[in-house]
Amino acid sequence: MADAEIRQGLTGLEIKTLISEITATPKMCGFEVYVITKSEPRLKKMGFVENGADNLRQKLKESILKILSEKYNAADADYVSADRIADEQRKFYIISTSEHYDPLSVLKTTPGVFSKNDIGDATGIAFSVRHGEKYLWAYQHLWSIMVPNKTKKNWMARLVSGTQGDVFEEMTDPILTFAEKIDLLVINDYIIASDYKLLQNSFGFQDYIRIRADKTIGAVEAKGIVANVDKLRDYVQRGNGKPKYAKKMMRITDSKVLKMESGKLWENIHKSTRWNGKIKEEDGKFVLDTYAQVEDLIDLLDERYTRSDITDTEYDTDVKQVAEPVT
């Protein structure tokens, strides 16, 4: 399946092309490592001992370039809009940042210099990967286990060889663990995530979801096809603060049905075997009495269903969201 065009303006093809251009000639690829901390300046550049084949910075560079090539630029790597997160697909989600949601805006700030005293405040590692004017950021989240001495509650030991054989001694200096992974990519004003739960747990992604859901409800209201739009707002507020229903509302953020001319829209609804009379109508508007009817409206605007011209069989599918229409 071809990569779907991302509605916010970035495509999977553009992402793969950028990664290909950056990783094609590793020796020409610029690479720096920064630590993100809670204290200012929040972005701090790391220094490394340059000692030939045992160069840690070179090893990190090779690891990050390998992950970019094998995971994010894989032939079967699919990229979809973050508006589709309710589908729980195993794909890369593209999130467009804005003045309201930009959790890694720290990457746009002037960096300081990292020292061992900053380890206790470290929250993430950012790898800057550049080839000429083209660049991206690879972000690795620092969980507490990756900074063992962070709370000073655990003792770390190392194994050393002595006259009495192999023995352990306490490590008194703070240590930092690098993992062979990339949790997030940052390309210009976009964040790419294979697991949005990290964003949800650590970067307030639920705020992004609610902002997008509110914007979608505003578009429905402006279309004038729903008599009681407040029912949509009540719907997304359900779930004890969890964004489950706001995610579903995001499915219609870029609805082609919603963009239709109103007269033609109602004409097609009334011709439809599935949708004619499915949702209560009064004076040319839908009246939503239940949350189940709200979900019916979402399915209608999302074009969730498709029908075979040959067998007249109807299918429940999300393929329409990633397939190009036949002209």
Cα distance between residue 296 and residue 232, in whole Å: 12
Cα distance between residue 210 and residue 249, in whole Å: 9
Cα distance between residue 77 and residue 91, in whole Å: 7
Cα distance between residue 108 and residue 30, in whole Å: 17
Please tell me the predicted confidence (pLDDT) of residue 288: 97
Task: Give strand pairing partners of 43.
Answer: 36
Q: Could you tell me the two tokens for 283? A: 């004076």
Please tell me the predicted confidence (pLDDT) of residue 2: 40
Please tell me the predicted confidence (pLDDT) of residue 239: 77
Per-residue pLDDT 10s for the chain (327 aa) are 344 444 447 899 999 999 999 999 999 999 999 999 999 999 999 998 877 666 899 999 999 999 999 999 999 999 998 888 877 678 899 999 999 999 999 999 999 999 988 988 999 999 999 999 999 999 999 986 666 665 566 677 778 887 778 778 877 777 788 999 999 999 999 999 988 889 988 999 999 999 999 999 999 999 999 999 999 999 999 877 789 999 999 999 889 999 999 999 999 999 998 899 999 999 999 999 999 999 999 999 998 777 655 456 666 765 455 555 655
Please tell me the predicted confidence (pLDDT) of residue 5: 42
Task: Give strand pairing partners of 140.
Answer: 125
